[in-house]
Structure 1
């Protein structure tokens, strides 16, 4: 039996997140339905990182076992022929039979897009966070430096039962792109639930001038979620890539 890894992209607008849930449409659900059509049997997929409702992906990685003899190109084509038009398989490669995308991942990269303009762009409303107030990108960069490295990010996560909140962020880059788009790129080994969106919410607080950059260090060290701002909207977030 072969084990395949597929790199996929998806528009999260009409999904209730990645993980299968009864009675709602999920990314995992439509992929496993497609695999069932191909294999004529149920197959469970493994994933490098779950995404919440409304979150998108550019380079998500999933792994599954194939009970039929099929090559990589044919597997990719078969999946794309059976998937809806808001999910696309970019690449399929055969991996070791013990390969697990969650535990083998060395770096995960998330992108968050903010549309920073006085008026909304209706065509970007599902893919960026429209923020109409001026943002000081340089101050946001200064604040982001306090979050790089290994820290207890309890102030920036939704804590799951028995889950450690210690994480390592390798780098945070904040860039002002064309057409009034601000990109926040966060690179780390792993992330707790809503961690990136909570970090974005805090950086925006600095960008508006409500907080000085040093405030992020204070909030981080307090290990208290109630001291941090509200979570940034899901639709601006993209699971950009994962490295093994």
Structure 2
């Protein structure tokens, strides 16, 4: 990229680069045109098809190019630039001395982005609590050449733009420069309301005064650089005390001003415990998975709806079976590249709870043809309701929550019984995971991350814990949290209202369509009840916006079994050239120890 960037830095357009190289080749092959004796302009010779592609139209719109197409074009331009001699640098003009009465405007330099000198600023290690809506992102962790931006990429751009970190190259995402750690690595589409990261950032704390040493024959004296030699006579003024919060940079405000509206810094911790790691210091992670009741639009029938409604009590009974210490290999996705051998995790709490005051009423759901076969309680309840699967645990496997929710939905649709959870947790009887589809990612939220304080953790590890970090929240400063042009509430309100209006309009449209019917009874069509294969076909709910036609349902224990984790690890290691999975883990352990020793040196 260096030759290509050098030309662009000299204000050379992309069309100009192509034109200077490729158009010249075309012009060399053109014959000289002469005017005929009659004064008419001669016809141009027919240009070969290949020559047309060499020249580039100045109106080319690169915004419509695909990513692979742009990459290929850049490679072609770089190859062309390497084959051309570099242009000679222009001689610098001699600057003539100006008179005192000269124009002051000529002396002023054009303004540009001033590069900050990191040596002039102190740094401090802090923790940040952030929230984001992950639907438009490709996950939390940065991945090069990803199709969608990541949360870490947006954080990197904000941190460098606010000059809170000083990497060697701002264009390259590399958090090694700031002692970075993260608590959870949410996947594509997953949101978080309590994600935590730790990093070292620029601070407002003044640096200690520089001192210089005066060397004279027979003595050595340390003198303050600012006071000079008079420091021996005048006492050095002490730096006023620095308040770690009031005198510090307003990190949430600085970052929220440059972050996208669906990513917000909620709080910061000025003094994390020693050896704090956002990943390894976390003692509890809380997740919530939201869904509606009914799960999707019920299919009306003469005796009531045939699908769409969930058995909440059955789901709650199944959720309780997750609690405790279990091997969750049948409730996760295996990544053989990591060679994980321990799938035992502890779940402190798992339950189904109703979320109050968030639903929009759809009266048509209470109609006789839409209610479930057993009917609905006649207590004036408004549908649809909103529920959430709440789970607390010390740590989780890859896609573990979404697999757990998928089995809960099967129990809620009465396709499985709640005791199927206990059966799948028995890895001795079922060492291989059935090949079932995990739940949708968008309703999942990393709700909070709990850290221990300076004191020891409570004696009961399953007891509900409170966060021990000393967070400074946005609400502590009304100017940052309350409504206003610079408050985070104002921006979040606008973001919420836009989507609330979409919900309101779609709600009214759905209700209107559900009640529209011709007044002529002869036009009303009565559909027969499904029979045969159609009656055995089921609609499986997986957490998305609707159900999936699944045909005849195959119970979980009768589905095709995947390879066990041990078999997947062994197969992957051999494919990578190792003797076995154990050999691969040993080789990685040796490499890690050598890297740690090199860092210690």
Q: 2:193 aligns with which of 37, 58, 67?
A: 58
SS in 2 for 1:63: strand
SS in 1 for 2:389: strand
CA contact (8 A) 1:137 1:175 kept: no
- 2:129 is aligned with 1:7: yes
Q: Which residue of 2 aligns with 1:111?
A: 288
1:47-196 maps to which residues of 2 (within 5 A)?
Answer: 47-69=182-204, 74-94=250-270, 95-96=272-273, 98-117=275-294, 118-119=296-297, 133-160=308-335, 161-163=338-340, 164-178=342-356, 179=359, 180-196=385-401
CA contact (8 A) 1:152 1:167 kept: yes
| Separation of aligned partners in 1, 2:354 and 2:312 | 8
| Separation of aligned partners in 1, 2:390 and 2:425 | 19
SS in 2 for 1:104: coil
1:201-220 maps to which residues of 2 (within 5 A)?
Answer: 201-220=406-425
Which range moves more in the overlay, 98-107 or 218-227? Answer: 218-227
| Separation of aligned partners in 1, 2:355 and 2:127 | 32
Q: Which has the larger radius of gyration?
A: 2
Deviation at 1:76, TM superposition (A): 1.4
TM-score by structure 1 length? 0.89
Deviation at 1:33, TM superposition (A): 1.3
Which range moves more in the overlay, 27-36 or 159-168? Answer: 159-168
Q: Which residue of 1 aligns with 2:47?
A: none
Deviations 1:14-70, CA, capped at 9 Å, x for gaps: 100000011330001110111111226236242101000000011111111114436
CA contact (8 A) 1:169 1:188 kept: yes
Structure 2 stretches lacking a partner, 5+ long: 1-122, 168-173, 206-244, 299-306, 360-384, 452-601
CA contact (8 A) 2:328 2:344 kept: yes
Deviation at 1:73, TM superposition (A): 5.7
| Separation of aligned partners in 2, 1:185 and 1:142 | 13
| Separation of aligned partners in 1, 2:124 and 2:449 | 22
Q: Which residue of 1 aligns with 2:449?
A: 242
| Separation of aligned partners in 1, 2:425 and 2:156 | 39
CA contact (8 A) 1:154 1:165 kept: yes
Q: Provide closer, same or farther for how the CA distance between residues 188 and 47 of structure 1 changes in structure 2, counting only shifts above 3 A.
A: same
Q: Which residue of 1 aligns with 2:60?
A: none
CA contact (8 A) 2:320 2:351 kept: no
CA contact (8 A) 1:153 1:223 kept: no
| Separation of aligned partners in 1, 2:131 and 2:396 | 19
Q: Which has the higher contact order (CA 8 A, sep 6+)?
A: 1
Q: Which residue of 1 aligns with 2:153?
A: 29
TM-score by structure 2 length? 0.37
- 2:434 is aligned with 1:226: yes
Deviation at 1:140, TM superposition (A): 1.2
Q: Which residue of 2 aligns with 1:126?
A: none
